């Protein structure tokens, strides 16, 4: 319940901040000012836009399939929001204690394909249908390398539980583990036990260096999952007006936009949990400087929860910033380039990473 309320409130707050941040960052990259009129430096522009959307009329085109058209935004949003249930916030706030949390998160997010296809088909608009077809082909194609990149983490951690994966990357793992074999492997970095140091040395990408490539693959595929540039072909405004949500207005359009930004946040949270230490501090213990202990709190205390939420959100927001930066830096890929990247490069690379991780783990055990 705590996780549900946190993510619901945080998602709304994040949506307001992220939209404003993207406008300002894109303006900075393009050497312009961005929003400046509504509020100080345009801070209230997003609130004004939301107020406008809430007052706009819900318009149905004459030939639209109204039931599909009406329900599609809800399916897109619910599929995205339900995946937050398994995200651990700290050592004490574990979210839903699902033993197959990784599988659940990847599977539930895939349901937004249904909502996107329903939105395009229900609109009965050629641009919307083409955008929906593109989106389905893109998401299905890129879920394969995404799943393979995650598989490397699962092989190393030996679990599908996101909280257990988080714990293995924290300084609390030594006192919490009951599996000696898992502990001995889980806190090694190039064969050296780093459990007493914690921090960045215990992150999965450092304990298993090949996972650095796995993280890059995961990040690239997450851009395609969220339909962000340079993988925004389903919403290519120069070709399809707005893609699958061309005919939407008012609150339904706002829900689709919030879902897009929500997927950005969700994939960032998953990347942090799987590769970047989750809620654990990036600062290691160095001699007498117990930085990891000072910035982690004590298990069972409120300080541990506050530190965990702080580090988790800071890392996730950094990745969201990178997604925004990439959108306004790289040009959109063509359809053939999109498919070539996914099938000819990312998928084989992810398979090679799995093979290397398997050999690496056998060599260290």
Distance in angstroms (rounded) separating the CA atoms of residues 307 and 294? 10
Tell me the pLDDT of the chain (365 aa) as tens digits: 666 677 777 888 888 889 999 999 999 998 999 999 898 889 999 889 888 888 888 888 788 888 888 899 999 999 888 899 899 989 888 878 788 889 999 888 888 888 888 998 888 888 888 888 888 888 889 999 999 999 999 998 889 999 999 998 888 876 555 544 444 445 555 556 666 788 888 899 988 889 999 999 999 999 998 888 788 887 776 666 777 888 888 888 888 888 889 999 999 999 999 999 999 999 988 878 888 888 988 887 888 989 999 999 999 999 999 999 998 998 888 888 999 999 999 999 999 999 999 998 887 66
Number of domains in the chain: 1
Dihedrals φ, ψ of 158, to 5°? 75, 25
Which helix (H) or strand (E) segment holds residue 48: the answer is helix 45-55
**Domain contains 80:** yes
CA nearest to 243, candidates 222, 229, 263, 264: 229
Contact 229, 326 (CB under 8 A): yes
**Domain contains 36:** no
Residue whose structure tokens are 């990784």:
102
Distance in angstroms (rounded) separating the CA atoms of residues 73 and 81? 12
Distance in angstroms (rounded) separating the CA atoms of residues 235 and 340? 20
Q: Which two tokens stand for residue 237?
A: 């405004």
Q: Considering the entire predicted model, what is its pTM?
A: 0.91
**Domain contains 30:** no
> What pLDDT is stored for residue 323 in this prediction?
94
Sign of CA dihedral 355, 356, 362, 365: negative
Task: Kindly provide the residue ranges of all beta strands, DSSP E only, lying in the chain, ordered along the sequence.
Answer: 188-189, 192-193, 285-286, 289-290
- DSSP assignments along 101-151, one per residue: HHHHHHHHHTTHHHHHHHHHHHHT-HHHHHHHHHHHHHHHHHHHHHHHHHH
Q: Which two tokens stand for residue 311?
A: 């580090």
Q: Which two tokens stand for residue 250?
A: 């008012």
> What pLDDT is stored for residue 211 in this prediction?
93
Identify the domain containing residue 295 by its residue range: 55-364
CA nearest to 139, candidates 165, 112, 121, 118: 112
Sign of CA dihedral 50, 55, 56, 60: positive
> What pLDDT is stored for residue 181 in this prediction?
45
Q: Which two tokens stand for residue 123?
A: 């609109």
2-10 LR contacts (CB < 8 Å, sep 24+) = 2/89, 2/93, 3/84, 3/85, 3/87, 3/89, 3/93, 3/95, 3/96, 4/84, 4/85, 6/89, 6/93, 6/309, 7/81, 7/84, 7/87, 8/81, 10/313
**Domain contains 41:** no
Q: Which two tokens stand for residue 305?
A: 């929860």
Contact 60, 119 (CB under 8 A): no
- DSSP assignments along 148-171, one per residue: HHHHHHHHHHT---HHHHHHHTST
> What pLDDT is stored for residue 195 in this prediction?
64
């Amino acid at each position: 319940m705590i996780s549900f309320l946190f993510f619901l409130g945080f998602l709304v707050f994040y949506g307001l901040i992220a939209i404003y941040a993207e406008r300002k960052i894109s303006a900075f990259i393009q050497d312009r000012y961005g929003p400046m009129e509504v509020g100080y430096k345009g801070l209230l522009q997003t609130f004004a836009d939301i107020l406008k959307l809430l007052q706009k009329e819900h318009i149905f085109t004459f030939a639209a399939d109204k039931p599909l058209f009406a329900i599609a935004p809800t399916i897109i949003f619910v599929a995205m929001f339900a995946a937050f249930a398994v995200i651990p916030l700290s050592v004490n706030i574990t979210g839903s204690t699902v033993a197959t949390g990784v599988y659940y998160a990847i599977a539930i997010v895939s349901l937004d394909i249904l909502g996107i296809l329903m939105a395009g088909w229900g609109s009965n608009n050629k641009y919307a249908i083409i955008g929906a077809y593109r989106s389905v082909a893109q998401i299905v194609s890129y879920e394969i390398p995404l799943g393979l990149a995650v598989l490397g983490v699962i092989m190393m951690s030996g679990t599908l539980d996101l909280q257990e994966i988080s714990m293995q990357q924290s300084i609390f793992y030594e006192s919490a583990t009951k599996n000696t074999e898992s502990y001995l492997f889980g806190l090694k970095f190039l064969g050296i036990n780093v459990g007493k140091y914690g921090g960045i040395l215990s992150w999965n990408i450092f304990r298993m260096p090949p996972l650095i490539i796995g993280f890059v693959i995961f990040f690239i595929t997450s851009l395609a999952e969220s339909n962000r540039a340079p993988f925004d072909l389903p919403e290519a405004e120069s070709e399809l007006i707005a893609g699958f949500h061309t005919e939407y207005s008012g609150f339904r359009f706002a829900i689709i936009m919030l879902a897009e930004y929500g997927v950005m946040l969700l994939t960032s949270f998953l990347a942090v949990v799987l590769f970047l230490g989750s809620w654990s501090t990036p600062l290691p213990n160095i001699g007498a400087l117990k930085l990891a202990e000072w910035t982690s709190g004590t298990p069972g205390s409120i300080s541990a929860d506050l530190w965990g939420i702080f580090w988790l959100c800071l890392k996730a927001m950094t990745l969201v910033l990178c997604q925004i930066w990439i959108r306004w830096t790289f040009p959109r890929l063509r359809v053939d380039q999109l498919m070539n990247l996914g099938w000819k490069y990312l998928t084989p690379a992810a398979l090679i990473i799995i093979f290397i991780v398997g050999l690496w783990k056998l060599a260290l055990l």
